[in-house]
Amino acid sequence: MGKVMIAPSVLGCDQGNLAEEAIALQMAGADMIHLDVMDGVFVPVLTVGAGIAASIVRRVDIPVDAHLMVQKPSHLIKAFADAGCSYITVHAEVTSHLDRLLQQIRLAGSKAGVAVNPSTPVDFLRWVAPAVDLVLIMTVNPGYGGQKHLGCVHDKIPETRRILDSYGGGGALISVDGGVTDANAEELRSAGADILVSGSFITSSDDPAAAIAKLR
């Protein structure tokens, strides 16, 4: 296992200054920026579109992962790929045609991610493993920052690694998102997480650089 990557979510940042906020997080040691895109349908909240993603990508030197919590991602993939997002992550729950969506992301020029809600089993990964570059395991129900971390989901991490490795997805990364703090980072890492997404623990802290260092 290489070094763990820390991906701060900008959901809790000043929404009118996201590019500046992302630059500050990069300077604080972030390895990746996690952009939570919500449509007000798949989740109740509405956040940002591809224009904001492009303005962040232009200003930082680290990869941006667009986490699309939207009911119809196929309409948005090209725009987020053109915006320069390194990863575009769609939810498994919104489509009967996941393989097609993942192919669409790669064809558009980004790396293909799939997110799974806490109650979604991961056995389907067997059938799409070669098409996946990243699996985002949700440890909260998506929609809000600052929720309680669901430790019961941790068993999914080694299960996901085993399925990916066995069925042609050995190069795919595992990312964990939701309530990630210094209280669970070590356990998540030992379970096999490659990327730790963390929002409020970093962005509500007085010292984001120290918070990132603690997670690492």
Residue 21 CB, shortest distance to Zn ion, in Å, is 15
- Interaction between residue 193 and ligand DX5 (CB under 6 A): no
User: Site residues for Zn ion, window 133-162 (CB under 5 A)?
Assistant: none
177 binds Zn ion, rule: CB under 5 A: yes
Q: Which residues are catalytic?
A: 36, 177
Per-residue HEC secondary structure of the chain comes to CCCCEEEEECCCCCHHHHHHHHHHHHHCCCCCEEEEEEECCCCCCECCCHHHHHHHHHHCCCCEEEEEECCCHHHCHHHHHHCCCCEEEEEHHHCCCHHHHHHHHHHHCCEEEEEECCCCCCHHHHHCHHHCCEEEEECCCCCCCCCCCCHHHHHHHHHHHHHHHHCCCCCCEEEEECCCCCCCHHHHHHHCCCEEEECHHHHCCCCHHHHHHHHC
Residue number, 115 or 125, with CB nearest to ligand DX5: 115
- Site membership for ligand DX5, residue 36 (CB under 6 A): yes
The yes or no reply on residue 177 touching ligand DX5 (CB under 6 A) is yes
Establish if 142 lies at the interface with ligand DX5 (CB under 6 A): yes
Identify which of residues 80 and 168 has a Cβ nearer to ligand DX5 in the complex.
80
For ligand DX5, the closer of residues 104 and 200 by Cβ is 200
Per CB under 5 A, the segment of 52-60, 64-72, 149-157, 182-190 that binds Zn ion is 64-72
**What token pair was written down for 5?**
């990557």
Determine, following the binding rule CB under 6 A, whether residue 47 of this chain makes contact with ligand DX5.
no
State how far the alpha carbon of 76 is from the alpha carbons of 10, 72, 90, 100, in Å: 20, 8, 10, 14
Identify which of residues 114 and 167 has a Cβ nearer to ligand DX5 in the complex: 114
Is 67 near Zn ion (CB under 5 A)?
A: yes
Exposed / middle / buried, residue 148 (Cβ in 10 Å: 0-12, 13-18, 19+) = exposed
Number of residues that bind ligand DX5 (CB under 6 A): 21
CB of 131 to ligand DX5, least distance (A): 22
Of 72-80, 81-89, 162-170, 174-182: span binding ligand DX5 (CB under 6 A): 174-182
Residues that bind ligand DX5 (CB under 6 A): 9, 11, 34, 36, 67, 140, 142-147, 177-180, 197-201
